[in-house]
Structure 1
Amino acid sequence: MLRPMPPALTLLLWTSAMLITPCAFAEAADHSLPSVAVSVDGLRSFGTSGKAVYPFTEGDKTEATLFEHEGKGCLTHMWFGGNWPNYERQRIRVYVDGEETASIDMELFLGHGIGFKDDFGPWGTKRIGKTGQPSGIYNTYRIPFGKSVRVTAQLHPGDTKNKRFWYIIRGVENLTVQFSGVRLPDNARLKLYKLENYAAQTLEEFDMCNTKRPGMLYMVTVAAKAGRSHTYLESCVRAYIDGAAEPMLLSSGLEDYFLGTYFFNRGMYHNEVAGLTHMNKQDHSFSAYRFHEEDPIFFNKGLRLTLRCGEEIGNQRHNKRTQRWKAPPTTYTTYVWIYEW
């Protein structure tokens, strides 16, 4: 026989339930995620924007300073707008801590994972995107600096007249950089390694980057084009970590590295980890980006990252024989972003 609950006990249970906050429920449901304490002490936002400005006073001879800031911090956002031929190929440079040569020197579209001036849009992720046609390019790259930062823009060679330009640049003083629950060292700096218009021969293995410093691989963009066929997509991406003679295979094919399959047979896509930003079956060209925020690759004594024009591989666990896929000579442009310290 059921008996009514005493009023005092009912009140106690009701009061206890009220003390279990929504945050407590969220913590219980998300107990597998690492807890990262973030202090707001010393954090202070900074930034600027330019609306319909004309910064390129001498055309392509002008490297226009869009923004500069003194102190310690991290860039967190950039957005760019404009509409003129070769807008996509203007150069954006980021100088940190007074360096004379910019550690980040990128063509606008390639710096956001887009090759061959592909104007497809809108699309976007938390880190990069293209929201308009034309322009509307943005990123939320974390670009740390210790003393100062300066961001510049320069027109593509041959653009001799000034252009009307829009931009937004923002950051936070004393903000640290963290990925996958790991806080990067305070002296970590984001560096861009470029290989531009490299003509690779059949089965040639070539470097996309080769650094001797410790760090973390952050992002890779590849834009490639061959005279016939997409066979170059058979290439495995190889990482030689800390001077190793044998590589760690990062993929079972180039489209696989960018999370595609069967030569990207389903067409364009964009997600937080990877995306296909250009595909042309007529001229056998493609471009794609890949982030390593949630799939971190760390190294202590350096990283050599390579591609092959086609593929030659053997002595695998489940297939010992040597296999070859011979791609025709292919032209590559690659951007490899690395945090080094």
Structure 2
Amino acid sequence: MTGYNYLSTLLICICAASSALAEGKYPVGSMEYPQRAVTQRESSYDRDWENGNADARRFTPGETRVIAEMEGPGRITHIWFTSMSAERGYPRSVVIRMYWDGSEEPAVEVPLGDFFAAGHGMQVDLNSALVASSSFGRANNCYWPMPFRKSAKITITNESKTHDCGLYWYVDWERRDVPDDVPYFHAQYRQENPPKQGEDYLIADIEGRGHYVGTVLSVRMSHHGWFGEGDDRFYVDGDTKPTIHGTGTEDYFNDAWAFRVVNRPNYGVSIWEGMNAGGRITAYRWHVTDPVFFEKSLKVAIEHKGNTFYDDLSLVDAYTDRRPDAYSSVAFWYQQGAAKRFAELPPVEERMVPATLIQIDETLAEKLPVGTELYEEPSFSNGKGILFKAASDHDSVEIPFEVSEEGNYLVFARMWPRGDSGVFDFYLDDSLLVKDEDLFREHHFVTDLKLGNMHKLSKGEHKIKAVSKGTGKRGGVTQLFLDAVVLEPIPAFEKKPETDLE
């Protein structure tokens, strides 16, 4: 479908006001013949722009700012952000809220990353009709139309306990009349970790008149294998049985036979790490051409069923809701009047993926290995890490770390990739897990290098070893900038019953 036709369809389906025809003339609302309005913008530009270029705004821990306040009537047409923080997973700790016509309750309350269809505090590129991200997930765009009559207010809150966040923004809008029957835009985040056994995972529970237009679903898997045997179910206007009944999780998100990363205008999978314990997935589905209409109420839910395994990784059940996966979602809809709150935003510590960051500069503070030095870098988790310079191939550095409790973990080396890094092998407790990794990246921000999949680690000391394999494709020196070791716990598997031999 061409961009011209797609935009026309989008405006017709979501914001019905654009469908009017100029009698006997041209279609009003088309790209070349838009309905006239007064174009406006709120942005973070430097108010002393004639003498400077300080366009970013710093949000200290716990700080809330109004980033846009507009007098209506009008309609928001586009929002753009780019952000930065040294906190791991910060797109989950920064929250966007939107208020229409003086309401004290937000119509939109969502962590920033999830609003742009990237869950788990991750940053990824994606390309859809209504949200799109580029620059490795750092440039975020929203095209949901958002009408208001008297006023609109958008706030950003940095709910991090420890780290600042920097933000640039545009809010583009039109001053125009809004008919009385045009509904308001809403978006609500909720989560369950894990979902309740015997109950579907609830995505939305809406009261009022309107239409449902989108879902973002994120799951962090607790077991190996497939998690998504759950059907989607829509209950319209009080129906006790599903009014609309689907056939499986990937089917609802317009994919098939499991997931893979894919981006399409109305559906996609922005994050897919495979069918391994600890793997993360985010999928989105926009109901642009097939909104779900409701007159009184709408409930949206999805089953949570898949494989479970014993601790020896033999199969327990291929179709069960006993998997302790972590589910989170964003529901998007339009409705007339103010919405009933069906979810409260969980505290920031409950929204973040559980993890322990072991600061390498502190671990090695008393005795630095040969070839290493302490290195200060603002984008490191605590502003400090180490720099390892290899004098020749096969030089190595060992990073010891302590595990406080035996269990299943994902292990990451948090590093700073640069053009002057090199190629390395990475070992965990003498097991080679990552071979010939060129640490050059097109971006230069701190990132996680995952060391294999799930590991069962005993309590006590372990080590990561990095072995130099030479310079990377950019040439130059062979060096490694390390910030931290990251441990993400995975729920314990069920113990396999002892076989009765009698």
What TM-score results when the alignment is normalised by the length of structure 2?
Answer: 0.53
Per-residue deviation, 1:287:
0.9
Change (3 A) 1:41 1:191: closer
Work out the CA distance in 2 between the residues paired with 1:217 and 1:198. 25
Match for residue 279 of structure 1? 272
Q: 2:37, 2:175 within 8 Å by CA — same for their partners in 1?
A: yes
AA aligned opposite 2:305: G
Q: Residue 46 of structure 1 aligns to which amino acid in structure 2?
A: Q
C-alpha contact (below 8 Å) 1:118/1:277 kept by paired residues = no
Give yes or no for the alignment of 1:229 onto 2:224: yes
Is the Cα–Cα contact under 8 Å of residues 74 and 148 in structure 2 kept in the other structure?
Answer: yes
Percent identity between the two aligned chains: 20
Name the structure 2 match of 1:97. Answer: 101
What corresponds to 2:208 in structure 1? 213
Partner of 1:12: none
Indicate if the aligned counterparts of 1:250 and 1:257 stay in contact, CA closer than 8 A: no
Where relative contact order (Cα < 8 A, 6+ residues apart) is larger, the structure is 1
Measure, in 1, the Cα distance between the counterparts of 2:212 and 2:332: 7
What secondary structure does 2:104 align onto?
A: coil
Spell out the pairing of 1:290-301 with structure 2 (5 A cutoff).
290-301=285-296
Counterpart of 1:46 (choices 9, 16, 40) is: 40
Q: Structure 1 residues 186, 202: closer, same or farther in 2, change over 3 A? A: same
Contact 1:216 1:340 in 2 (8 A): yes
Query: Which amino acid letter does the alignment assign opposite residue 136 of structure 1?
Result: A
| More off after superposition, 74-83 vs 166-175 | 166-175
Change (3 A) 1:60 1:100: farther
- Aligned partner letter, 2:261: M
1:230–1:217 Cα change, 3 Å: farther
Query: Are residues 325 and 104 of structure 1, via their aligned partners in 2, closer, same or farther at CA, if it must alter by over 3 Å?
Result: same
Aligned counterparts of 1:212 and 1:193: Cα–Cα separation in 2: 14
Paired residue type of 2:83? G
- Counterpart-to-counterpart distance in 1, 2:142 and 2:264: 14
| C-alpha spacing 1:274/1:200, structure 2 compared with 1 (3 Å) | same
1:66 aligns with 2:67: yes
Give the deviation of 1:120 after TM superposition. 2.8
Equivalent position to 1:195, from 190, 193, 196: 190
Between the aligned partners of 2:20 and 2:267, the Cα distance in structure 1 is: 25
> In the alignment, is the contact (CA less than 8 A) between 1:201 and 1:330 conserved in 2?
no
SS of the equivalent of 1:207 reads strand
C-alpha change, 1:113 and 1:41, in structure 2 (3 Å) is closer
Q: What aligned pairs does 1:1-341 form with structure 2 within 5 A after superposition?
A: 36-37=20-21, 38=28, 43-51=37-45, 52-53=54-55, 55-56=57-58, 59-84=60-85, 85=87, 86-89=89-92, 90-121=94-125, 123-161=126-164, 163-174=165-176, 186-264=181-259, 267-281=260-274, 282=276, 283-310=278-305, 325-327=319-321, 328-341=323-336
> CA RMSD for the aligned pairs?
2.6
CA displacement, residues 32-60 of structure 1 (integer Å, 9 cap, x when unaligned): x9964237666211112224445446x12
Are residues 276 and 296 of structure 1, via their aligned partners in 2, closer, same or farther at CA, if it must alter by over 3 Å?
same
> Equivalent residue for 1:181?
none
Give the residue type in structure 1 aligned to 2:135: G
**8 A contact 1:277–1:287 mirrored in 2:** yes
In 2 relative to 1, CA 272–175 (structure 1 residues): closer, same or farther, beyond 3 Å?
Answer: farther
Question: 1:191-240 CA deviation, whole Å, 9 max, x = no partner?
Answer: 22322244214453232211121110011111112311354311111001
Q: Distance in 2 between matches of 1:113 and 1:160?
A: 23
Secondary structure of 2:227's partner? Answer: helix
Number of corresponding residues? 286
**How far, CA to CA, are the matches of 1:203 and 1:226 in structure 2?**
18
Q: Distance in 1 between matches of 2:116 and 2:137?
A: 14
For structure 1, list consecutive stretches of 5 or more residues without a partner in the other structure: 1-25, 27-32, 177-183, 312-323
Question: 2 CA distance for matches of 1:130 and 1:214?
Answer: 31
Cα distance in 1 for residues equivalent to 2:189 and 2:245:
19
Is contact 2:233-2:242 (8 Å) kept?
yes
Cα distance in 2 for partners of 1:70, 1:230 equals 51
Q: Give the Å deviation of 1:160.
A: 4.6
Q: Which amino acid aligns with 1:108?
A: L
In structure 1, how many angstroms separate the alpha carbons of the residues matched to 2:225 and 2:101? 42
Residue identity opposite 2:82 in structure 1: G
Give the Cα separation in 2 of the matches to 1:99 and 1:136: 29
Per the alignment, residue 20 of structure 1 pairs with: none
Gaps of 5+ in 2: 6-11, 14-18, 22-27, 46-53, 307-317, 337-502
Contact 2:110 2:188 in 1 (8 A): no
Judged with a 3 Å threshold, the aligned counterparts in structure 2 of structure 1 residues 216 and 230 are, in CA distance, closer, same or farther, namely farther
Distance 1:192 1:127 in 2: 13
- State the SS of the aligned residue for 2:251: helix
User: What is the one-letter code of the residue matched to 1:298?
Assistant: F
* CA drift at 1:142: 0.8
